[in-house]
Amino acid sequence: MIYLTRKEHFNAAHKLYNPNWSKVQNESVFGKCANANWHGHNYDLFVTIKGEPDPSTGFVFDVKQLSILIKTHIIEKLDHKNLNMDVDFMKDKMCSTEHLAIGIWNELRLHLPKSVQLHCIKLYETPRIYVEYFGD
Amino acid sequence: MHKKVAIYRKEHFNAAHRLHNMDWSDEKNMAVFGKCNNPNYHGHNYELIVKVVGVPDAATGYVIDTKILSNIIQQEVIEKFDHKNLNLDTVEFKQLNPTAENIVMVIYDLLRPHIAMDKELVITLYETERNFVQYPA
């Protein structure tokens, strides 16, 4: 079994703010991440798929195709956007890195060929903070 | 011993912004600034490198005490810009387009009064890993 990873990146604004809570409670839980006018990050995205290399190509999957699928269906929707306001698959969700990783998995899964096994979405919000989602 | 040494302090802040010229139409802004003009903003992890050059003090061996330098940067830059919207939440960019070029010059002006004039100050600002600016050039 080989694990194949493609790295991409996007830059976006967001805030952590639960509309069902008061401003005071939001600031108490989310601190400066609750700033009303947003803040932003350079996100690094690692998409890992797994499988056995095809004997005729030596590939688990054509990584150029993987890159095109990620760029078309994920990066186009997220890059230079406001994650709370501009992204269909994050509508009405708390815009944490955890939820974003799950959202990226679900969105990308729709567009990957059935034969491709998605293994992990690893998402860096800052160089020091990242999450991993394995689909379970 | 009059040899000069450069000392650097790295800090970072995370902020939202958009590039927009208020004197231009929406169409012209979009044509010039592209996706950086997104009306709902986008954001970056900014990495800031502050360089101070001078002759180390004979008594302390310091060009500048890095703890003092860190406190100045925190107070003058990070508290103003971290987890903020540069266009909406800062006085510095109310009228000024928050490009990396303008941000680096603003940071220089914020820090310069707090660094002794016999020291040289150079600011490097990374907007992304691949895009960064320096002032003075």
What pTM value is reported for the model? 0.90
Task: List CB contacts (< 8 A) between B79 and chain A.
Answer: none
Task: List CB contacts (< 8 A) between B83 and chain A.
Answer: 32-33, 35, 39
ipTM entry: 0.84
Q: How many CB pairs under 8 A join A and B?
A: 76
Looking at the DSSP assignment, which residues form a beta bridge with residue A124? A44, A130
Please indicate if any CB of chain A lies within 8 Å of the CB of B78: no
Token couple for A124 = 């860096």
Contacts with A, B 102-131, CB within 8 Å: 128-129
Q: pLDDT (tens digit, 0 to 9) for every residue of chain A, 136 residues total? A: 999 999 999 999 999 999 999 999 999 999 999 999 999 999 999 999 999 999 999 999 999 999 999 999 999 999 999 999 999 999 999 999 999 999 999 999 999 999 999 999 999 999 999 999 999 9
Residues of chain B with pLDDT below 70 are 1
Report the residue from B36, B84, B128 with minimal CB separation from A39: B84
CB B46 within 8 A of CB B82: no
From residue A124, alpha-carbon distances to A44, A134, B113, B123 in Å are: 5, 15, 36, 26
Q: What is the pLDDT of residue B2?
A: 85
By CA distance, what is B40's nearest residue in A? A82
Measured distance CA(B69)–CA(B6) in Å, rounded? 13
Task: List CB contacts (< 8 A) between A40 and chain B.
Answer: 14-17, 41-45
